[in-house]
Amino acid sequence: MRGRWRCAARRTGCRGLLVRLLTVSALVAVCSVAATTWIAVRTTSGAIKKQQGQLLADDTLLLDVLTGYAATHANWDGVAPVVRDLAHRTGRRVALTTQNGALIADSSPQSGALPEQAWAIVDPLSVNRADPIDPRATGPFRLTGRERRTLEGYALQQVQCLRGLGVETAVAYTPSGRPTIRTFTASNDDSAAVCDSGRLARPTPTERIALRRLDSLVNGCLHHTGLTAVEVLPDFSWRQAPTEPGPASKGGARQIQPCITEGRKTLLRACVSPPARLFFASPETTSQRFRPSGTNLARVAGAAGLVLVLAFGVSVLAATRLVRPLHALTAAAQRLKDGDDTVRVPITTSDEIGRLTETFNDMAAHRNRLEQERRAMVGDVAHELRTPLSNIRGWVEAAQDGHTPADEEFLSSLHEEAVLLQHVIDDLQDLAAAEAGRLRLHPEQFEAGELIAQIATAHRAQADAAGVRLTATAPAECWLHGDPVRLRQAVGNLVSNAVRHTPPGGSVDVRLMIAADAAVIEVADTGTGISPQDLPRVFDRFWRADKSRSRDTGGSGLGLAIVRKLTEAHGGNVGVRSEVGIGTTFTLRLPEAAVEQRTVQSSGA
């Protein structure tokens, strides 16, 4: 049973190609739809998460910067530039008000009233940490410049000592300006004991004053709870006061730290800005991960199904149209391989397959022509070599039988036939080298007029013997770039042919002319001419207008083919125009003409 999916010659291979095409197309469509959906979901989710992260970072930035400002300033008088800068950096409207609602600063007051609910309370003494006081709030504990330089000297001495013991350290600073030692490699207790003089840990005068005030506040708090007095250290830890006998109870220790915190707040309240309400406009965001609804899922599934159906249908159509001409080309190629040079494939499309089919047909036709030319060339070569070899054999056999004396006439005849044979072989070698691209040229700058004159001189004797007037015309000081030997051979072949085909009393003119971008050499004769149907074949190998293939009117039949190859090797071209009974003109067009021209003429009978 024959169906539309069945191939005549190679059913399995054809179906395999069709199945592969369909499978690949379906996989591509599925992957495209899946990838597009996945990318859309991932992109949306990523954008939402990124936006949420950016909003969180902006929130943290706003609160941190404003809290830091409040911790280092006694009031909000200069906060307006800070608010405007934060609004510019976050792209939001930022506003601060007092606890009573009085406006402190607003980055965009023209945007309308503020929300009723504040986003946060900016208070450096209540930052919702384990230590509720912002570390940047130092107040009376901030060191003077002199104290800082003194402690910095102690710290550098200790750092140099530790580095000498192989411990990598550096100096770090607390918000109050006190230097501390930061260690990057492990150190033993001995090295720390050797380098620590204890001077860095001692309170400065500024700190002692502040600590005494803090001790008073803390012990006042502890007095109401019935606990013993303590002494607060620079890092806000504590120890029992030396004047108090006996250790503090464990239960009382848990109440000491809150008293220290309250005492610090009392000291710092005059040095920090009062609490303020923070407002800012935030773009609408979603706190949930992107999840398509059932309706959206149905739409995506429907679109994916439609894409699959369309892709499958188009793939079937394209695969069917592709397989049919490919099978025809395969069958034609097999017939061509079996020796059928007449095979051709019908061109049914104008796409790539159609162009491939056209190229295949051209290749088959070219192969047919090459085969015909090869057969003709073999016959022509055999014919051209048979005659001189037959003549030589006949003369030699006649001499061996004693019918012909081996005198000077005999040797002259043998030499003439050998020269003819050598001429045919040389022409074949030149033509084969030119067609194979192995013809070597030796280009140089030469005077074209001198070349034309030499050619005319070389063929003067032949022209005089044939009763033909030979003239040569060329501009003076006309320089060309090429191989003068090969060009002399090409033009000489044309002149020799023209003289042979011009009857007595006729003329042959060799002319060199300069065009806009080329040098043109013409060889014109008043000979018998060439018929229009023979003009396309004049440059074929072994072609002669004389169908009897007689040498009375011609040479080897390779001269014009060699002329065309030599001209093309110089980047030029050769053409011919002729009228029967009037004459023929061959034209060689070569690039790079001369720059200075002065006409000279040489003529002869």
Per-residue pLDDT tens for 153-209? 888 988 888 888 888 888 998 888 889 888 887 766 666 677 777 788 888 999 889
pLDDT at 485: 84
Helix (H) or strand (E) holding 98: strand 94-98
- For 217, the token pair is 């506040």
pLDDT at 148: 92
Does residue 124 contact residue 70 with C-beta atoms inside 8 Å?
yes
In this prediction, residues 229-235 reach a mean pLDDT of 82
Q: Who has greater pLDDT, 253 or 573?
A: 573
Question: In this model, does residue 288 exceed pLDDT 70?
Answer: no
pLDDT at 291: 55
Where, residue-wise, is CATH 3.30.565.10 in the chain? 441-603
Does residue 568 contact residue 433 with C-beta atoms inside 8 Å?
no
Q: Coil, helix or strand for 556? A: coil
- For 106, the token pair is 């607003």
Helix (H) or strand (E) holding 522: strand 518-525
Residue 409 CB coordination number (10 Å): 10
Q: Which long-range contacts (CB under 8 A, 24 or more apart) does 483-486 make?
A: 483/441, 483/442, 483/443, 483/444, 483/570, 484/444, 484/446, 484/451, 485/442, 486/439, 486/441, 486/566, 486/569, 486/570
Query: Quick one: 519 exposed, middle or buried, by C-beta within 10 A (0-12, 13-18, 19+)?
Result: buried
Percent of the chain with pLDDT over 70: 74
Give CA–CA dist 140/278, Å, rounded.
27
Fold of 342-439: Helix Hairpins (1.10.287)
Q: Coil, helix or strand for 598? A: strand
Phi, psi of 235 (to 5 degrees): -90, 15
Give CA–CA dist 211/555, Å, rounded.
128
Question: pLDDT tens digits, residue range 87-128?
Answer: 888 888 899 999 888 999 988 888 788 888 888 899 988 887
> Which residues is 121 bridged to in the sheet?
277
pLDDT at 598: 39
Q: What is the DSSP letter of 42?
A: H
Three-state SS across 413-444? HHHHHHHHHHHHHHHHHHHHHHHCCCCCCCCE
Q: Coil, helix or strand for 173? A: strand
Q: Who has greater pLDDT, 370 or 252?
A: 370
Residue 33 CB coordination number (10 Å): 19
Give CA–CA dist 325/40, Å, rounded.
41
pLDDT classification of 379: cutoffs 50, 70, 90: low
User: What residue type is 402 in one-letter code?
Assistant: G
Give CA–CA dist 17/10, Å, rounded.
11
Q: Coil, helix or strand for 348? A: coil
Question: In this model, does residue 550 exceed pLDDT 60?
Answer: no
User: What residue type is 194 in one-letter code?
Assistant: V
**Least-confidence region, from 308-312, 345-349, 453-457, 477-481:** 308-312
Question: pLDDT tens digits, residue range 487-505?
Answer: 888 898 899 889 988 999 9
Question: pLDDT tens digits, residue range 448-481?
Answer: 888 888 888 888 888 999 999 999 998 877 888 8
* C-alpha closest to that of 487 among 566, 371, 573: 566
Give CA–CA dist 138/235, Å, rounded.
12
**pTM as predicted:** 0.44
Longest dimension (CA), the chain: 163
Where, residue-wise, is CATH 1.10.287.130 in the chain? 342-439
User: E strands of 220-324, at which residues?
Assistant: 230-232, 238-240, 276-280
CATH for 441-603 is 3.30.565.10
Give CA–CA dist 373/361, Å, rounded.
18
Give CA–CA dist 170/348, Å, rounded.
85
Residue given tokens 């056209």 in the structure block:
358
Question: In this model, does residue 562 exceed pLDDT 60?
Answer: yes
Average pLDDT, the chain: 77
> Which residues is 474 bridged to in the sheet?
600
How long a stretch of residues is the chain?
605
Give CA–CA dist 18/12, Å, rounded.
10
Q: What is the DSSP letter of 552?
A: G
Give CA–CA dist 58/596, Å, rounded.
83
> Which residues is 103 bridged to in the sheet?
97
